[in-house]
Amino acid sequence: MMSPVLRSTLAATLLAALPALADPAPAPSAPPVPTPPATLQAVQAALADLQRGIDPGLPLAQQFEHLAAARPSPQTADKLRAAFGTDRLYAIERRPPAAGRQAWRATLFPLKYTSPQGTGVDWSEGLLDMAVEPDGKTVRGHGSIERVAVEDAATRMHWRGIVFDSRQQRGYAGLWFGSVDAQIAAAQFQDRKDGVGMDMNALRLSARMTEKPKTVDIAYDARIGSVAVAGEQVDDIRFALRVTGIDKKAMAELKALQERQQARQETLAALTPQQQLAVLKPLLRSFGQAAMARGTAIEVDQIGASYHGVRAAIKGRIALQGATPADLDDAGRLLKKLVGRFEVRVPMALVSEIAGTIATRQVAAQAAQRGGSADPQAAAQLRQNITDLMVGKLVGPGFARLENDMLVSTLEWKTGVLTANGKPVQLPKPDQDTAAVPGAVAPGRGNFLQARLVDGSCTLPGFPDEVTRADRALRQRIEFTIGVDGRVKDAQVTQPSGFPDYDRAMLQAQGQCTYIPALRDGKPIELRSARETVRSAGTGGTGH
C-alpha cells in the first residue's frame, strides 16, 4: 500500500479537482454520456499510473526510487496532453540525505485550466519533502501549496495557505500508524447563482492513529478559527473525537480488500450498490463482531462553537451494548443496541444572542414594509419574548435544567428511545405541521425553522355558554397565513364550530396573535398554518 504521505499530497489535490474537471451533466432529457470527459479520464489515468508504481513488498526507499524513475504510460501521456497540454502533473526527485535519512521531493506542477463550459481548476506549485528514517519503516513529510481553486457552473471554491506535516510508521500487516497535522489559512465557497458565500479562516486538522497490542485507536481534532455566512460569524469551532478499540485484524482485512480492488484496477465507486454490498458485507460483519469483542466506542471529547463571544459545547460517548452477532443481520435491531450519552451545555447568554439576531431581523423587516426605521424597544421586547419561548420549550417540560445561567441537558439514546434529562423525546416527522394545510409551504429539511406563537400576544375566547352548560363536544379549524413580520393575515374558518358568534370571536382573536415567523436559510418567510380547537364531551372545561 502506498505511503499515506505521498498519496495524500499527490492524489488529494487531483481528486479535489475532479468535479470541476468534469463537464456539466446533460439535461435530463438528453441521452446519457457513455464515457467520462477527457479531463476526468486524464486525471484518473495519472492516478492509476501512480498507484501501479507502488510495490508494497519493497522497502520504502526502493518504492520512492521507482516512483522517481516512473513516467506516464504512453496512453496516459496522450490523455494528459489532450486535456491539459502537458504530459506531467508532478515529478519526484531524490534529494541529498540528511541526518542519516534518505530524502525525496515531490513537486506538483502549477496548473490553470478552463474547460469550454467554463469549469476549471487553478493551483500553484505544490511541494512535498519526504524522508525515510534509518529504520526503513518510518516516513516524515512536510508539504505545502499556496493556492487551490476549483470552479464549476454552480460553485467557486478557493483554499489558500495549505501546509501539513506527517510522521507515519509501517506496523502490523503493513498498516500505517502515526500522525498528520494540517493547516489551511483560509477557505472560501461561493454559490455562483445567488452570490451567497461562506468564508472560513484558520483551519487546523490533526489525525492520530495509534497501534496497540490487539487494537487501534484513531483520534481527530478539527478546529476552525471562524466561519462567516450571510453577515453572521461563528468562532472557535472545534470537533474532537476518538474511536477506540478498533480491531487490528479487521483493519488489516480492510487494507487487503483495498489492495485486491487496486490489483483488479477497479474501485467500489465503479460497482453497483448491490455489488458494493456483496463486497463489503463480509468486512462489515467482521468489523461488527470485532467491535462487540473489543468494546469499540466513539468518544466525543468536544463539539463546540462560540457566537458573539459566548460558547456552547457537547461531549459524550457512543458504543454497542448487549449486541450479538445475530443483530448484525438486522439494522433496526442493531440500532437499538447502540447506547449514546451526551451532555449539552448552552449558556443563557447564547440563547439571548440568537434571539436578538432573530428579533433584529424581524423588526427590521417590519420597518422596511412600513417605510420607517426599526424600533430598538420593539426589538428588545421581541428578543426577550423569543428567549422566554425558547427556554420555556426546554425547561418547562423538563428537557433541560438551568444551572448558574447555563442550560444543561443530558441526551441519551438507549433501546431505540431518545431522552433529554430523562424525558422521552418524540422525534419529529418531516413536514408534520403543515402538510395538511392547502397551499402550505413545505418546511423541507435542515434549513427550516417552524413559526412559533409569541406567548401572551393574544387571548382566545372561552367556549360558548351552551357548550359548557351542556358539557358538549366542539370542533373548529381556522387556517391563516403567518407573514414575514409575524402577523396573521388571510384567516378564515374552514371548519365551523356550529356557533357563528364563537367562530367570529375566534377569528378576531387569531388575527391579534403575533408569531416568530418561519425561517428558511435564516430568512423570514410566509407560512400557511392552521389552528384546531377541539373540546370533548364530559371534560367540564370552560376555556381553551
Please check whether residue 457 lies inside any domain of the structure: yes
Do the Cβ atoms of 324 and 355 come closer than 8 Å?
A: no
Which phi and psi (to 5°) does residue 228 adopt? -120, 125
Grid coordinates belonging to 182: 494540517
Residue pair 125/88 in contact (Cβ under 8 Å)? The answer is: no
Would you state the pLDDT for residue 544? Answer: 65
Spell out the residues 6+ positions from residue 524 whose beta carbon is closer than 8 angstroms to its own.
Answer: 361, 362, 365, 484, 485, 486, 517, 518
pTM: 0.71
Q: Of 370, 398, 427, which one is at a domain's C-terminal end?
A: 427
pLDDT of residue 263: 64
Say how far apart CA 63 and CA 362 lie, in whole Å. 63
Shared domain for 475 and 374, answered yes or no, is: no
Check which CATH number belongs to the domain holding 351 and give it.
3.30.70
Q: Residue 273 domain-assigned?
A: no
Strands (E), 51-108: 90-98, 101-108
Lowest mean pLDDT among 27-31, 274-278, 284-288, 476-480: 27-31
> What cell does 126 get?
505544490
> Per-residue DSSP letters for 371-391?
TS---HHHHHHHHHHHHHHHH
The answer to whether the CB of 204 falls within 8 A of the CB of 222 is: yes
Residues 466 and 530 both lie in one domain: yes
- For residues 465 and 407, membership in a common domain is answered with no
Q: Both 386 and 472 in a single domain?
A: no
Please give the share of the chain, as a percent, with pLDDT higher than 70.
84
Residue 205 has pLDDT above 80, yes or no: yes
H helices present in 453-499, as ranges:
465-470
Work out whether the CA dihedral 497, 501, 504, 505 comes out positive or negative: negative
Q: Is residue 346 part of a domain?
A: yes
Based on the fold, state whether residues 423 and 455 are members of the same structural domain: no
Task: Centre a 10 Å sphere on the Cβ of residue 263 and count the other Cβ atoms it contains.
Answer: 10
Shared domain check, 399 and 498:
no
Same domain, 317 and 397: yes
Spatial distance between the Cα atoms of 218 and 178, rounded to a whole number of angstroms: 10
- The residue type found at 365 is A
In a domain, 142, yes or no: no
Which triple of cell numbers denotes residue 433? 405541521
Residues 6+ apart with CB under 8 A from 39: 21, 22, 23, 83, 84, 113, 115
Instruction: Please say which residue of 427, 460, 480 terminates a domain.
Output: 427
Is 50 exceeded by the pLDDT of residue 412? Answer: yes
Domains in the chain, number = 2
C-alpha cell at 2: 502506498
Is 340 within 8 Å of 413 (Cβ atoms)? yes
Q: What pLDDT, in 10s, does the model give residues 263-301?
A: 665 565 566 777 776 777 777 777 788 888 888 999 999
Most confident stretch, 18-22, 207-211, 366-370, 463-467: 207-211
Residue 467 and residue 388 share a domain: no
What separation in angstroms does the CA of 138 have from each of 54, 107, 163, 312? 16, 21, 20, 40
3-class DSSP assignment, residue 239: strand
- The whole-number pLDDT of residue 262 equals 65
| Phi–psi pair at 218, nearest 5 degrees | -120, 135
Which region among 30-39, 125-134, 292-301, 477-486 has the lowest average model confidence (pLDDT)?
A: 30-39
Element (H, E) at 362: helix 348-370
**What pLDDT digit, counting tens, does each position of 155-188 carry?**
899 999 999 999 999 999 889 999 999 999 999 9
SS3 of 393, please?
helix
Task: Give residue for cell 505545502.
Answer: 144
Q: Could you tell me the CATH number of the domain that includes residue 482?
A: 3.30.2420.10
| pLDDT at residue 351 is higher than 60 | yes
Here the cell at position 248 is 487490528
Side chain identity at residue 142, one-letter code: H
Burial tier of 278 (Cβ tally within 10 Å: 0-12, 13-18, 19+): exposed
169 vs 146: CA distance, rounded Å: 27
Q: 313 and 374: one domain?
A: yes
Burial class of residue 256 (count of CB atoms within 10 Å of its CB; 0-12, 13-18, 19+): middle
Backbone angles phi, psi at 227, to 5 degrees: -130, 125
CA pair distance 390, 380, nearest whole angstrom: 15
Last residue of a domain, one of 427, 457, 489: 427
Is the torsion defined by CA of 44, 48, 49, 51 positive or negative?
positive
DSSP state of 514: B
Range of the domain at 502: 448-535
